[in-house]
Structure 1
């Protein structure tokens, strides 16, 4: 019996680790380059084109007449947002009610006001005095207990706020209804099992959870509401857009810079609403997320701290 010896070569030096190369994406870089070129051309056209008259834009941007119109816009938007949301909550509860009368009336209101353009609602309210010179409260087809002079009540501000609120309530109702329906049915059943009153169930258990779905959609509605305030110019209320229109008729050579002034102010208002939306969403996300994402300011601070740490390490070498 013979034994065979197997000779193995001595182990060589370890092979160097292979470098993992990221996947090349030339299309993405090409698209980014095209976007940067187009953005640079657009910025150059805005700055270099004398047609925009940036000196006149700077002159009109913070003039008292513009700021007065801006204050009217903010006032109308604030009143309409609060009244529209309150009306939307009532309409949503009516649509979710088991009472067929409340459900039918709420559905009809939402269907009708969403079907009619806002400018038609405003013009109809503005001319309501021709149809109803006086408004009264009393027994239908019977005596009236209280009578109001419509011409005194229907000021330009009142017409604008009522018209926007009526239209906003129809859209807010669907936003609130969708938010309430998004709450898990087990939450409703658990609240009912505790024997809590229906009003308490909605105010303390269902509605706070529904706000996570309501807030993003309703802030979008508020952005649209701020821009919709430009229509109150047609009911003789000089808001931001109305002031710009009046000044444009008085100074025809400044139409473009005045339109740019209105555009910039609307961008500022919608940007503020977007910031508010972010922090409100972050607040109500605490019950759904284990860790709330950092704010942009916190991210900037973290990035700056990391940059300082790297700089110190590099200088210490």
Structure 2
């Protein structure tokens, strides 16, 4: 894991990779940044002689970051039992779509969300599947199937044998297959989704946007799979359905009711975790970031993140 070298540049240069690993393990940009900062603090806390003994700082930092994430995942379940409503991963934007990248001072430190490689392994559909895994399964699967780390090194993170680590990844892989997520076949980080799939999804999302804006329930129902499910995350800080809304007709009615209660709401087509989604803003402030799963030209899943603490990366100067 990582490259050989002990210079300051070698160490600092690992940050982007570490952020990408940690976000996929935790589903939170904020927690990923904290985990990486903790790993760096431990590195710089080592005596100089110990640092020089470490052949690959990148490998050391990845191992430590992954162990920190493993511990966080172990405690996350208890925290999420106290969470108000459904918990969804933190959505990330594609800054290149914006005329103004808000909340980030060009002269200041980089926003961790800007360093994420947006590929199949960060789509909301895939991150939700990762949430169904045990912490050890998730670590083994992400490190091996997404980042191609060998099981001999993953075993050191998990404190298990390479064979046991391989079994954990296989178990996680079965969960992915069972979920039948469109992004189930994960490639090395950096691989872009197929153009045709992205184009089809963008077309469906655009039509959903238009029907939502005109409050056209009939069209919305036609665009939604009859068995579609909508999950909202308000975190108890803003209004959101506490339980998933099931059924295309019910979701369409719910969406129109939201539009009725929020005059002046503006919908924008934006990339959400690397795939077409919608951003709802009001008076310039982002209120909701919605991600969609599309199959056979219809929306099967909607994930609507409304918790303002998870939308900090979406603020910009308009």
Tell me which protein shows more strand as a share of its residues. 2
Return the TM-score normalized by structure 1.
Answer: 0.26
Return the TM-score normalized by structure 2.
Answer: 0.26
Higher relative contact order (CA 8 A, sep 6+): 1
Larger radius of gyration: 1
